[in-house]
Amino acid sequence: MKKTAALPFPQSKNGHFFDELGDFIGDVFYEILPDLGFELRDEQIFMAFQLEQAYKNKSVIFAEAGVGTGKTLVYLVYAICYARYMRKPAIISCADETLIEQLVKPGGDIEKLSNALNMEIDVRLAKAREQYVCVKKLNNIIDQTDSEEIEKVYDDIPSFVNQQGASMTSFKPYGDRKEYPWISDREWKKIAWDPLQQCSTCEYFHRCGQTLNRNHYRSAGDLVICSHDFYMEHVWTKESRTREGQLPLLPEASCVVFDEGHLLEFAAQKGLTYRFNAETLTTVLTGYLNQDVREESLVLIEDILAGHDEWFDILKESAKMQEESNRKEVPRTPEMLAVAEKLKKNAASLLDQLVFDSELYVLEEYHLKMIEEYLEFYAYGLDILLKDNEGIYWVEESKDTFSLVIMPRLVEEVLKKEVFSQKIPYVFSSATLSREGDFTFFSQSLGIDKSIGFTVDSPFDYNEKMAAYAFVTDEEEQKWQHIADKSFKNEGGSLVLFSSPDEMNRFRDWLFVKKPEVSCLFEGDQEISELVKKFQNNENQVLCAYHLWEGLDIPGSALNQVIIASLPFPPVDPVFKAKRQESNHPLEEVDIPYMLLRLRQGVGRLIRTATDEGVIHLIVSSRENEAYCENISSALPVKINY
């Protein structure tokens, strides 16, 4: 058990923790940080004393604070002090892995705070499972691949991993995606963990990088930093893992901070997603067929496998591709629903048969447990599909896999029960949490009954620091030419934000043919934090991305121009189609709010400090300019020049 570090301020015998914490907070933001050259910000101090109420009352607080308010330093000081007081780590949940890296990077806010307060901060990362290499997949592919990127990863795997009988004292955490910056996203997927892996019975389990990293972060003293997706996976699997004798994915927390908290609802939906792979059920039930079971069970299994094949044949024939999305829409036909209903009944019957078979015959415990778990998952997912208006579903297809994905439409009741019923402080931090200062819509969507909230505007004078220009065109060729011209003229220092991977790749193909002299970094070519580092360290670079609308923090001249390739409307896919169907005014209540939120986040990448300055270039079609001109103007902090 790790010894908890001391509080960074003296505690008297009869003193009250929050009184002494308040004095310390005042010292930090009024004296210690300003004496070290940090800017004294009224917005930061206001936010600090607002957070005090949430920690005192163990309540939910919405801290909507603009760029430059110093909100990260505020929530870090509170989280660390409270973690040490409660002797449990604080969890900082970020929107994605990119934001995690921004928080812990050299020169980032955690390192700045550690140096300023002369305090060692025990911070550890809990990354999503797909961020770790799967040694089993790597070993299976290494003799068949000609990829130098994958071969280099294989060469970097520690010797103890493939060494039978190696002492566990030699086991060290490894396998994080960040450790292999050279490998592209496309190649990484071939060797990374995926949901089809049966980790609990894998021969590499105790030497697995994911296992070793998990053991490492569980003993954190101050902070555990994870993504929203991973936090939600922890929430949804906590009960089942405990029931099976496994530890939850994350340790018990003293408090939770959701950075970029406006993205939590979608992460919660993803965490409750049911993914049906065409081959998985066959793989699972084949293990049952090889056991000594009754004829009745064997007949039932054959019926399920035949029905499953028929079901997926219907899905493959009826699924419709959506533009700018890898999600195919699934028509809710009577034929498809009838087969799904029969599958659900048969799955429930087989679960009952398992009870008899386990009592009458000697079944391998692993196979029994795996089949029970998967059948429960299978039946519950089908139940959501069959209930009208409860689920969102789509098909994803790649070269090797075909999957049906089912996502619950609403998650507030589950969140209310599993998350916000706990009596601990929850802090939501973002520049965009309210609708004109009202947090009701956001809090209700998450199942939060009681909360407090405040809004703090950015202290920056944007009229002095930023200029914004709109370029109107209906020709994609002109759009690409405009992006290339502005990037070339600016001699780098440019972030180009695209609405989707497809849009970015179309520009990439055009650039390769038309402007080979323009050097660009493209998201997906390498591990994302490595790309960001290259961009930041070379002022002549151009970074093209579709995920970096939020969280990217590059102050100074390394980033002085943001080019927005198109208005970031939500994709035409089943998730947003369901949201639109729920609304009486989908354009005004779904599409435009999403676009404006993302647009504000993208514009926010430009000015990160009081000395930054730069230019925004926004490319719109003539129809968009006519329809949304006022909306766009309201989202930007400066007047748009045409």
pLDDT at position 1 is 45
Query: Which of 344-358, 493-507, 543-557 is predicted least confidently?
Result: 344-358
The whole-number average pLDDT for the span 460-472 is: 94
Question: What is the rounded CA–CA span in Å between residue 541 and residue 196?
Answer: 39
Mean pLDDT, to the nearest integer, of 342-352? 92
pLDDT at 358 over 80: no
For residue 325, the model assigns a pLDDT of 65
The full DSSP string for 295-317 is: HHHHHHHHHHHHHHHHHHHHHHH
Measured CA distances, 334 to 26, 303, 317, 421 (Å): 65, 20, 14, 40
Helix (H, G, I), strand (E, B) or coil at 209: helix
Residues of the chain above pLDDT 90, percent: 49
Q: b/e map of 451-474 (b: 16 or more CB within 10 Å)?
A: bebbbbebbbebeebbebebbeee
Q: What residue type is 621 in one-letter code?
A: S
pLDDT of residue 168: 56
Q: What is the mean pLDDT of residues 236-240?
A: 82
Q: What ranges make up the beta strands (E) of 298-425?
A: 320-321, 327-329, 391-397, 402-408
Question: What is the Cα–Cα distance from 202 to 180, expressed in whole angstroms?
Answer: 23
- pLDDT above 50 for 55: yes
CA distance 430 to 455: 10
CA angle (492 as vertex; 490, 495 as ends), nearest 5: 100
pLDDT digits (tens, 9 = 90+) for 547-572: 999 888 888 889 999 999 999 998 87
pLDDT at 539: 79
From residue 337, how far is each of 196, 383, 584 by CA, in Å?
26, 11, 27
Higher pLDDT, 106 or 2: 106
**469 vs 368: which has the higher pLDDT:** 469
Distance of CA 312 to the CA centre of its chain: 29
Lowest mean pLDDT among 34-38, 40-44, 304-308, 511-515: 40-44
Lowest model confidence (mean pLDDT) among 83-87, 99-103, 345-349? 99-103
DSSP codes of every residue in 158-199 = -GGGG-TT--GGG-----BGGG-TTS-HHHHTTTB--TT--G
pLDDT band for position 402 (cuts 50, 70, 90): confident
Q: What is the mean pLDDT of residues 328-333?
A: 88
pLDDT (0 to 100) of residue 239 = 80
**pLDDT score at 115:** 94
Q: Average per-residue pLDDT in the chain?
A: 88
Residue 434, C-beta contacts closer than 8 angstroms, at least 6 positions apart:
62, 64, 442, 453, 455
Boundaries of every domain in the chain: 129-254, 276-408, 466-635
Note the pLDDT of residue 362.
Answer: 59
Task: Say which CATH class 466-635 falls into.
Answer: alpha beta
The answer to whether 520 and 528 have CB atoms below 8 angstroms apart is no
pLDDT digits (tens, 9 = 90+) for 16-41: 999 999 999 999 999 999 999 888 88
Per-residue pLDDT tens over the stretch 240-294: 778 767 789 999 999 999 999 998 988 888 777 888 888 888 877 876 676 667 7
Q: How confident is the model at residue 2 (pLDDT cuts 50, 70, 90)?
A: low
In the predicted structure, residue 3 carries a pLDDT above the cut 60: no
How high is the pLDDT of residue 361? 62
Instruction: Specify which of 309-323, 371-385, 560-574 reaches the highest per-range mean pLDDT.
Output: 560-574
Q: Tell me: the pLDDT tens digits for 60-89?
A: 999 999 888 889 999 999 999 999 999 999
> How many percent of the chain have pLDDT more than 70?
94
